């Protein structure tokens, strides 16, 4: 084969490949556009090579014909270029095929996801497993026991609350008003603070002049269990912000980096009452934050992730971050602590209501009322027996419920009125290992060297049994005065004050006697309030003068014989009533703090020890010299 023939075959092969790539018809049309149709049909080798160059490079401006010596080299270049073009075309086709397949796959996945979402929206978030658990919960809801004792015994109206008439009136006047106040409620446990607060709101709703609507909420929370995170990750009382990265906001918000505020109990109580039981146990920092909410009447939320210019943030989130959440409510805080232990900032913003300890007659009425709810009949003396062992209304009803259970266990017919006897109650008291609440009781007798003082712990008053004995010392002027150390240093100081007043009154030196003063039971006397009682016991022991055992006295004694004011007067008087004391002597400086003379006990003010000693000893006690001088 000669060289020209080989070149002819090479040109034909390249044109055949182009025809396969573009198609024969398309190749003709393309040759016409590139002004190469006549060149392709030419008999001259150089013309066909020029046409081939134009077709392969798709360039009609190529006009230079190749010389016979250049044809072979040009054909080799065109072959290489065409091979590269075909390889690229093959790769592109393969990529296009893969892309098409992947797009088809993605399209199918998208359709599947849309289908699942539509099914989920129609069927809800539940599936067979969650529906099964829901059905189990529904079955549990249908399985109920009888009402608990606490629920059954709880007063349903304010009239059923026993022993707190003054406190109820005070609370209602502060809450049921056109301008209700925040309130702090003080009192021992089990006297009805929570119940009265709940019923007081119901009462306030019935008055047209109060701002409380019919749907005003009563939100209750216990300060001892209320926890929060100082980083504001969680704060159930005031509310918190769930940042999208760390605290896990909702998925649609987290994907857009939008923080999500969570509203707290203060907003839930908006328009109503927020009741915090044991508010004195609340964290101090949280107390300060709550005070800020009380002033602003709304909660402000903050987050470094909040962008006020982000168009993707929902309107309600913009509202919470710019204006805050409304929190206009009335706070009622209950506590068993002494007012001195409550934050002064809280006390300055709240009215204060004091619930009294329950007296034995109150406990008797509570037990009798509870017996009616239980459809039980009480043997005579059962209610009085309960009153000896508790001053808490809640515990009293619980003891009755336990005794009722003992009666049923013993064979009583539950369809008839169950008789609860003293034996049933004694069994309950013994099993609970209770001891009588009133350890010392007053009597109509008189004793030498024994006097009843008054003490208080929290809101509970009690009787202090103070006794003294005196003997002439072996050597005049070298007598000893002994006092039990467990009573406290301030009580010991009262003994020394009493020694000075003893000398001023009697004209004798107490150092001529060996005197032993004792507080029975070893109770700690927090303060100098037993001063008058200690002096009385010493004079009685030295002079042999009997002291009535149905009176009690409290007051600090000064070395000039004056009776100074003391604290805790109300619970002290209630403690005296429980012990059966007929007359209580208090400092005259405290008289204004006693709103009225309480029932069943006479309260007598005294300004100096001389007038008190004259009354109880029924003998002349000389006035002190410095009183005459004044």
The β-bridge relationship of strands 330-335 and 273-277 is parallel
* SS3 of 332-380: EEEECCCHHHCCHHHHHHCEEEECCCCCHHHHHHHHHHHHHHCCEEECC
Phi, psi of 458 (to 5 degrees): 70, -120
Helix axis angle for 382-389 and 360-373, nearest 10°, is 130
Calpha distance 278→185 (Å, rounded) = 10
* Angle at which helices 68-123 and 3-22 cross, to 10°: 20
Give the pair of three-digit tokens for residue 250.
């909702």
Active site residue 3: no
- Give the single-character DSSP code of 164: -
Task: Give me the residue label for tokens 């940042």.
Answer: 243
Q: What is the DSSP letter of 505?
A: H
- Class of residue 254 by CB neighbours under 10 A (exposed 0-12, middle 13-18, buried 19+): middle
Q: Please check whether residue 185 is in contact with residue 355, taking contact to mean a CB–CB distance below 8 angstroms.
A: yes
How many whole angstroms separate alpha carbon 429 and alpha carbon 436? 10
User: What is the greatest pairwise CA distance in the chain?
Assistant: 165
* C-beta separation of 26 from 19 below 8 A: no
Residue-by-residue DSSP string for 272-329: SEEEEETGGGS-HHHHHHHHHHHHHSEE----TT--TT-TTS-HHHHHHHHH-EE---
Among 176, 494, 529, 588, which one carries the catalytic annotation? Answer: 529
572 is catalytic: yes
| Active-site annotation holder among 303, 572, 577, 588 | 572
User: Do residues 182 and 330 touch, judged by C-beta distance below 8 A?
Assistant: yes
- The catalytic residue positions are 529, 572
């Amino acid at each position: 084969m000669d060289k020209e023939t080989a070149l002819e075959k090479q040109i034909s092969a390249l044109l055949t490949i182009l025809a396969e790539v573009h198609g024969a018809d398309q190749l003709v049309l393309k040759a016409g556009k590139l002004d190469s149709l006549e060149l392709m049909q030419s008999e001259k080798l150089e013309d066909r090579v020029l046409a081939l160059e134009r077709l392969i490079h798709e360039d009609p401006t190529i006009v230079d014909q190749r010389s016979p010596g250049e044809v072979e080299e040009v054909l080799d270049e065109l072959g290489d270029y065409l091979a590269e073009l075909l390889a690229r075309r093959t790769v592109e086709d393969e990529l296009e095929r893969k892309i098409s397949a992947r797009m088809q796959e993605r399209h199918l996945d998208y359709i599947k996801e849309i289908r699942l979402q539509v099914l989920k929206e129609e069927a809800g978030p539940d599936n067979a497993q969650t529906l099964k658990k829901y059905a189990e919960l529904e079955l549990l809801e249908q399985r109920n026991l009888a009402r608990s004792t606490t629920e059954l015994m709880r007063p349903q109206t304010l009239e059923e609350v026993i022993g707190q008439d003054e406190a109820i009136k005070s609370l209602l006047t502060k809450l049921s008003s056109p301008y209700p106040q925040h309130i702090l409620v003080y009192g021992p446990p089990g006297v009805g603070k929570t119940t009265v607060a709940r019923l007081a709101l119901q009462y306030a709703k019935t008055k047209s002049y109060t701002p409380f609507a019919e749907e005003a909420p009563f939100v209750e929370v216990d300060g001892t269990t209320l926890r929060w995170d100082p980083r504001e990750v969680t704060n159930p009382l005031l509310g918190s912000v769930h940042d999208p990265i760390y605290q896990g906001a909702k998925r649609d918000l987290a994907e857009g980096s939008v923080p999500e505020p969570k509203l707290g109990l203060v907003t839930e109580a908006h328009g109503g009452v927020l009741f915090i039981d044991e508010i004195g146990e609340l964290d101090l920092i949280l107390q300060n934050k709550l005070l800020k909410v009380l002033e602003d009447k709304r909660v402000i939320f903050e987050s470094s992730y909040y962008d006020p210019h982000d168009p993707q943030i929902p309107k309600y989130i913009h509202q919470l971050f710019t204006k805050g959440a409304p929190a206009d409510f009335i706070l009622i805080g209950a506590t068993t602590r002494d007012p001195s232990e409550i934050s002064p900032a809280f006390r300055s913003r709240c009215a204060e209501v004091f619930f009294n300890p329950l007296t034995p007659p109150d406990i008797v009425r509570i037990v009798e009322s509870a017996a009616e709810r239980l459809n039980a009949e009480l043997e005579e003396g059962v209610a009085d027996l309960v009153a000896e062992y508790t001053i808490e209304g809640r515990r009293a009803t619980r003891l009755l419920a336990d005794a009722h259970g003992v009666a049923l266990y013993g064979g009583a017919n539950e369809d008839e009125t169950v008789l609860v006897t003293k034996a049933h109650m004694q069994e309950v008291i013994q099993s609970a290992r209770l001891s009588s609440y009133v350890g010392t009781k007053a009597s109509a007798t008189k004793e030498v060297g024994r006097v009843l003082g008054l003490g208080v712990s929290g809101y509970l008053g009690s009787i202090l049994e103070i006794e003294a004995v005196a003997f002439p010392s072996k050597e005049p002027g070298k007598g000893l005065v002994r006092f039990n150390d467990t009573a406290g240093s301030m009580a010991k100081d009262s003994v020394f004050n009493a020694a000075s007043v003893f000398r001023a009154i009697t004209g004798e030196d107490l150092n001529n006697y060996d005197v032993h003063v004792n507080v029975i039971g070893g109770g700690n006397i927090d303060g100098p309030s037993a001063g008058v009682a200690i002096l009385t016991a010493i004079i009685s022991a030295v002079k042999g003068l009997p002291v009535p055992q149905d009176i009690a006295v409290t007051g600090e004694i000064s070395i000039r014989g004056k009776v100074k004011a003391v604290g805790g007067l109300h619970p002290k008087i209630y403690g005296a009533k429980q012990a059966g004391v007929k007359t209580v002597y208090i400092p005259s400086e405290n008289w204004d703090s006693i709103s009225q003379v309480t029932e069943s006990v006479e309260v007598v003010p005294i300004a100096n020890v001389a007038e008190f000693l004259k009354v109880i000893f029924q003998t002349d006690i000389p006035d002190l010299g410095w009183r005459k001088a004044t």
